[in-house]
């Protein structure tokens, strides 16, 4: 039950519309009773989009469930070995405790979880990747140093920088961390609520009050970071202001200097995968191509808020394949 090209396009289309309208729709949350009267059209647009999302996702979810049932009814020796467990497969049998009874997830809840997974796991990583590549183009010395580091551990004839090699590349890790510090894709985390009245810096936050954190500003705090606006991966190397990248506490369990993935019990569950993806893509993009700015273009680092904070002017580059 592999997805067809047109199904992928369909998912991309509705998902993109959801993300572009995220802030417009999120606003409805502030005072639903009031916005239901004042912003009726916006609510209708949200319901319409939700309907379209369900129309796209429900047939795929049912298709996948059929495959799972068929597979279960087959004898063990008939089962294909290349079966890959999908995220949605982990949701069918979950038991959730409602107020009264234990129950399974409903189909529309499964749609919401799949949407969350796709939304949280794609745009974030691709946005971070674009910002990192923009800085690599802007700072040719960073690119040269990265290429030299890869060359030190990968044979020149190798086409690909393989996943196993990535842990031997501390400068690469430092580049990724510096990218996430300087340009975290989310400038805030998801809204959290306090479970009891708390006093924060002299202000009372009442029980159930919402709180959020200025993720981007934390990474640029001059009291914590030297020359915070500069792109300097060296700060994450041993001897730099943060010690070695390997030892840097990205989860914030010892101290919080930046929190691009949030911290604590609601920290991004995909952070490990995201860092791995970023390392893999950046290493291979630099290994295969030389990235240079388009002549006369200074790589504009202005920001624009979409679902994540993206480059206002998308990165334009000259790519030359590296002759090996
Ligand atoms: C560079 C890439 C990424 C960044 C910067 C990022 C950042 C974040 C942040 C800031 C949060 C909110 C944390 C909070 O509320 O305290 C979050 C939540 C989440 N992320 Fe990521 N994320 C990334 C990649 C991914 C990937 C690859 C996946 C899945 C494969 C993923 C899945 C999720 C999910 C499911 C949540 C919601 C968790 C919850 O509600 O408890 N993220 N992410």
Tokens of 106: 């409903």
Report the distance separating Cα 120 and Cα 100, nearest Å.
Answer: 31
User: Which protein residue has the closest C-alpha to ligand 1 atom 26?
Assistant: 121
Question: Under a CB-based contact definition with an 8 Å cutoff, are residues 86 and 113 in contact?
Answer: no
Q: Ligand 1 atom closest to Cα of 186?
A: 10
Q: What is the pLDDT of residue 73?
A: 80
For ligand 1, whether the C-beta of 131 sits within 6 Å is no
Q: What is the pLDDT of residue 102?
A: 86
**How remote is the CA of residue 75 from the centroid of ligand 1, in Å?**
38
For ligand 1, whether the C-beta of 179 sits within 6 Å is no
For ligand 1, whether the C-beta of 308 sits within 6 Å is no
For ligand 1, whether the C-beta of 205 sits within 6 Å is no
Go through 252-272 and write b for each residue having 16 or more CB atoms within 10 A of its CB, e for each that does not. Answer: beeeebbbbbbbeeebbebee
For ligand 1, whether the C-beta of 260 sits within 6 Å is yes
Using a CB cutoff of 8 Å and minimum separation of 24, what contacts does 12-19 make?
A: 14/49, 14/52, 14/53, 14/56, 15/115, 15/118, 15/119, 15/122, 17/49, 18/49, 18/53, 18/115, 18/119, 19/119, 19/123, 19/306, 19/307
Q: What is the pLDDT of residue 26?
A: 86
> Phi/psi class of residue 213: alpha, beta or left (left: φ > 0; alpha: ψ in -120 to 50)?
beta
**How remote is the CA of residue 270 from the centroid of ligand 1, in Å?**
6
From 173, 268, 276, 282, the mutation candidate for ligand 1 (largest count of ligand atoms within 8 A of CB) is 268
User: Which secondary structure element, helix H or strand E, spans residue 320, and what is its range?
Assistant: strand 317-321
From 116, 124, 215, 273, the mutation candidate for ligand 1 (largest count of ligand atoms within 8 A of CB) is 124
**How remote is the CA of residue 31 from the centroid of ligand 1, in Å?**
26
Report the distance separating Cα 120 and Cα 277, nearest Å.
Answer: 14
pLDDT tens string 63-118: 999 988 888 787 665 556 677 888 999 998 898 887 778 889 999 999 999 999 98
Report the distance separating Cα 28 and Cα 92, nearest Å.
Answer: 31
**How remote is the CA of residue 269 from the centroid of ligand 1, in Å?**
6
Spell out, as residue ranges, where the chain has pLDDT lower than 50: none
Q: What is the pLDDT of residue 199?
A: 95
Report the distance separating Cα 263 and Cα 252, nearest Å.
Answer: 6
Q: What is the pLDDT of residue 245?
A: 60
For ligand 1, whether the C-beta of 117 sits within 6 Å is yes
Q: Ligand 1 atom closest to Cα of 191?
A: 15
**How remote is the CA of residue 120 from the centroid of ligand 1, in Å?**
5
User: Which protein residue has the closest C-alpha to ligand 1 atom 21?
Assistant: 268
For ligand 1, whether the C-beta of 240 sits within 6 Å is no
């Amino acid at each position: 039950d592999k997805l067809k090209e047109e199904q992928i396009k369909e998912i991309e289309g509705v998902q993109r519309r959801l993300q572009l309208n995220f802030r417009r729709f999120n606003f409805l949350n502030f005072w639903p009773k009031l916005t239901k009267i004042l912003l009726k059209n916006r609510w209708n647009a949200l319901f319409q989009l939700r309907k379209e999302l369900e129309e796209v996702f429900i047939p795929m979810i049912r298709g996948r469930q059929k495959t799972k049932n068929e597979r279960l009814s087959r004898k063990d020796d008939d089962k294909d070995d290349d079966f890959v467990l999908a995220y949605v497969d982990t949701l069918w049998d979950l038991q959730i405790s409602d107020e009264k009874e234990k129950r399974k997830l409903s189909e529309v809840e499964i749609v919401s979880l799949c949407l969350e997974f796709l939304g949280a796991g794609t745009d974030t990583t691709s946005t971070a990747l674009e910002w990192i590549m923009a800085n690599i183009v802007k700072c040719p010395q960073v690119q040269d140093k990265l290429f030299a580091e890869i060359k030190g551990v990968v044979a020149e004839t190798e086409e690909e920088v393989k996943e196993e090699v990535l842990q031997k590349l501390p400068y690469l890790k430092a580049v990724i961390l510096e990218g996430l510090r300087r340009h975290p894709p989310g400038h805030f985390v998801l809204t959290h609520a306090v479970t009891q009245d708390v006093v924060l810096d002299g202000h009372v936050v009442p029980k159930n009050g919402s709180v959020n954190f200025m993720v981007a500003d934390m990474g640029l705090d001059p009291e914590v970071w030297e020359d915070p606006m500069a792109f300097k991966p060296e700060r994450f190397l041993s001897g730099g202001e943060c010690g070695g990248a390997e030892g840097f506490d990205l989860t914030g369990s010892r101290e919080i200097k930046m929190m691009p993935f949030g911290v604590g019990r609601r920290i991004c569950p995909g952070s490990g995968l995201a860092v791995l993806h970023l390392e893999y893509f950046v290493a291979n993009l630099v290994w295969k191509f030389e990235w240079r700015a388009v002549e006369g273009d200074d790589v504009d680092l202005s920001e624009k808020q979409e679902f994540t904070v993206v480059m206002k002017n998308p990165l334009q580059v000259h790519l030359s394949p590296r002759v090996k």
